Structure 1
Amino acid sequence: MEVVNYNGTSLAFIGDAWMSLKVRLYMLEKGFQKPGILQKKCSEWVCAGAQAKMLLELQEQGFFTEEEEAIIQRGRNASIRTFAKSADVMTYRHSTAFEAVIGYLYLFHKEARLAALWDEIRRIGETL
Structure 2
Amino acid sequence: MEKSLTPNPDNLNSIKATIEKSYTIEQAAAMNPLALAYIGDGIFSDLIRKYLLGCGHQNVNLMTKTSISYVRASAQAQIIRALLPQLSEAEERMVKRGRNTASQVPKNANPSDYRYATGFETLIGYLFLCGETERMKTLIYQSIDIINQLDVK
TM-score normalised according to structure 1 size: 0.92
- Other-structure match for 2:111: 89
Structure 2 residue 99 is the aligned partner of structure 1 residue 76: yes
> Secondary structure at the residue paired with 1:126?
helix
Matched residue type, 2:133: E
Q: CA RMSD in A?
A: 1.2
Structure whose CA Rg is larger = 2
- The separation in 1 between residues aligned to 2:148 and 2:117, in whole angstroms, is 18
Give the CA deviation at 1:126. 1.1
Matched residue type, 1:96: T
TM-score normalised according to structure 2 size: 0.78
- Other-structure match for 1:63: 86
Taking CA–CA contacts closer than 8 Å with sequence separation of 6 or more, which of the two structures ends up with the larger relative contact order? 1
**Ranges in structure 2 where 5+ consecutive residues have no aligned partner:** 1-22
**Ranges in structure 1 where 5+ consecutive residues have no aligned partner:** none
Aligned length: 125
Structure 2 residue 148 is the aligned partner of structure 1 residue 126: yes
Structure 2 residue 34 is the aligned partner of structure 1 residue 9: yes
- The separation in 1 between residues aligned to 2:137 and 2:120, in whole angstroms, is 15
Contact kept in structure 1, 2:70 and 2:144, CA below 8 Å: no
Moved over 3 A (4+): none
Give the CA deviation at 1:121. 1.2
Provide the identity percentage: 33
